[in-house]
Amino acid sequence: MALSFSSQFELSGGRINPPLTRGHAARDHSGWLVCFVSLTMLLLISWSAAQPAQWTTTVVVLLFLAPWGWIVLRQPNDAVRSVMQNWILIILPVLSIASALWSDFPAVSFKGGAQFLITTIIGIWGGYCIKPRILISALMSALILLAVLSVLDGSHAFNRFSGEYTLIGVFGSKNYFALCISLLLLTAVTVSLDRSQPLVFRVLGIAGSCLAAPLLMYAHSVGALVVCVSALIISLALRIALRLSSISRITLVILMLLLIICVVAVLSFQIDTADLLGYFGKDVTLTGRTLLWEYAAESIADKPLLGGGYQAFWQVGNSSAEQLWFYSYIPSKYGYHFHNTFLQITVDLGFVGLAVFGLFLVLTVLRIFVCLFGRTASTEQILAMTLFVFLLLRTPLEVDLFFQFQLPSILICLIWIYLKPAADRQMS
C-alpha cells in the first residue's frame, strides 16, 4: 500500500522526498560506493605511512581522492555551490597555505595546507552532495571493515609509560585506533536506531556496536573511553529531549549542565588524580603531555600573532622538536603533535588562527541550539551534535581537527553542513 503524503513527509524528517526511481537508486548506490571506497582509503593512510615502500601512501591517498571525481562530474554545479556556501570551513586551510609566507619551512607549510584544503573540500562535497543516510552507512561499513582487519592483523604497540601492549591493527597508532573505534560505536548505534536505513545496515549496526565495545576497552585509552561514553549518554539525552516541548528541552539541558558541573566538582575533591590515572596505566604527566605543553607555550610566546607556520614545528632540524622526539623515544620523527588542539593551532597559526577556530566553534554551537530548540531534528542532526560534542571533548588532549587526510577533518565538515536547516542543503 502506498504511503500517504503526510506519512512520507514524516518519514523524511519533515522533507518532501520524490518517489524513488531506478535513476535515484543508481545514484544512491554509486554515492555509497564512492563514500565507502574513499573513507576506507582515508582510514588506511596512517597505516600506509608506516610501510617501508613510500609509494604505498601515494597510492592510498590517490584512491581516497579519485572517487570524488565521479561526484564532481555528476554534479559540477553542486560541487562548486557547496564550497561557496560553506566558505567558513575553508578559512583555516587557506590560512594554513598562507602561512608558507612566514614559515621556517615554507614548502612544508604550503604542501600541508594545500592537502588540508583538499581534505576539507571533500568533506564539504560529502555533506552537500551525498544523502546523509548513504554517507553514514558507508562510514560505518568502512569503520567495521578496518576494525575487523585490525583484529585479524593483530599488530600491537608498546606504551613505555604504562608498560603495556595495545592493539593498533591497521590504524597505525594507539590513539588513532581508539578514535576510530569510538567513532565506529557512535555511528553503529546511530545506524541501528535509524528506521530509514535498510535492514541489512541496521543489523550491521548492531554487529558493529557489539564489535566496538570490547575493542574500545582493549585500546586502553582512558580519554577515548570517557569521551565516547559521555557522547553516547548525550546522544541518548538528545533523543529524549527532542520528544519534549521547547520549554522542557531547555529545562533538561540546564539540568544536564548543572549535573555535569556537580559531578566534575565532586570528582575533583574526592578522587586522587594520580590514583585515577594509575588505574588506567597513566602517569601524572598524562604520558608526557605536560612537557609538550610547556614547549608549546614557549613557541607561542616567540611567535604569538601568526605562529611559526602550518606544521612547521614538527620538522627535522627544529631543535625543540628534536628534543621532544628524543625524550619520547620516537626515532622515526613522524606523526607527533602537542596533544592539545588549541595549543597546536596557536603554535602553527598564532592567535589569528586560534580566533578563526574559536569563531567556528561558537557558530557551530549556535547552530546546535537552533536545531535543538527547533521543531524537529533529523537522525543526521542528532549524530552531528553527538560527534561535535565527542570531538570537542577531545580537544584538550588530542589534535583531531587540524590535519590533512584524517577522518575528523571530514567529520567536522559533515557536522557543519548537517546542522544547517534541511531546506538549505542539497543532497543527491
Q: Does the pLDDT at position 106 exceed 60?
A: yes
| Length of the chain (residues) | 428
Of the two residues 403 and 251, the one the predictor is more confident about is: 403
pLDDT tens profile 339-393: 889 999 999 999 999 999 999 999 999 998 888 777 677 889 999 999 998 998 8
pLDDT tens profile 7-22: 333 333 344 344 445 5
What cell was used for 317? 632540524
Q: How far is CA 288 from CA 262, 314, 396, in A?
A: 29, 16, 14
Of 161, 151, 235, the C-alpha closest to 193 is 235
Q: Does the pLDDT at position 1 exceed 70?
A: no
Contact 156, 167 (CB under 8 A): yes
Rg (CA), the chain: 22
Contact 223, 397 (CB under 8 A): yes
Of 26, 20, 22, 115, the C-alpha closest to 70 is 26
pLDDT tens profile 118-163: 999 999 999 999 999 999 999 999 999 999 998 887 766 655 555 5
Report residue 55's pLDDT band, with 50, 70 and 90 as the boundaries: confident
* Residue range 100-129: mean pLDDT, rounded: 96
Q: Tell me the domain boundaries of the chain.
A: 5-424
pLDDT attached to residue 140: 97
Phi-psi region of 405 (alpha: psi -120 to 50; beta: other; left: phi over 0): left
pLDDT attached to residue 380: 92
What cell was used for 99? 602561512
To 10 degrees, what angle do helices 67-74 and 55-65 make? Answer: 20
Q: Does the pLDDT at position 412 exceed 80?
A: yes
- What does pLDDT average to over the chain? 82
Q: How far is CA 145 from CA 47, 150, 178, 181, 211, in A?
A: 14, 9, 15, 11, 11
Residue 132 CB burial class (10 angstroms; 0-12, 13-18, ≥19): buried
Report residue 261's pLDDT band, with 50, 70 and 90 as the boundaries: low
pLDDT tens profile 181-231: 999 999 999 999 999 999 999 999 999 999 998 988 877 777 788 888 888
Residue 250 CB burial class (10 angstroms; 0-12, 13-18, ≥19): middle
Contact 426, 128 (CB under 8 A): yes
What distance in Å separates the CA atoms of residue 69 and residue 72, rounded to the nearest whole number? 5
pLDDT tens profile 60-100: 999 999 999 999 999 999 999 999 999 999 999 999 999 99
Contact 376, 364 (CB under 8 A): no
Q: What are phi and psi for residue 159, nearest 5 degrees?
A: -100, 110
Q: How many CB atoms are closer than 10 A to CB 196?
A: 17
pLDDT attached to residue 301: 92
Of 409, 380, 395, 427, the C-alpha closest to 42 is 409
Q: What are phi and psi for residue 96, nearest 5 degrees?
A: -65, -40
Q: How many CB atoms are closer than 10 A to CB 309?
A: 28
Please give the model's pTM, rounded to 2 decimal places.
0.85
Q: Does the pLDDT at position 43 exceed 80?
A: yes
Q: Does the pLDDT at position 238 exceed 60?
A: yes
What distance in Å separates the CA atoms of residue 380 and residue 235, rounded to the nearest whole number? 12
Of the two residues 103 and 338, the one the predictor is more confident about is: 103
Phi-psi region of 226 (alpha: psi -120 to 50; beta: other; left: phi over 0): alpha
* Residue range 260-287: mean pLDDT, rounded: 49
CA dihedral (294, 297, 301, 306) positive or negative: positive
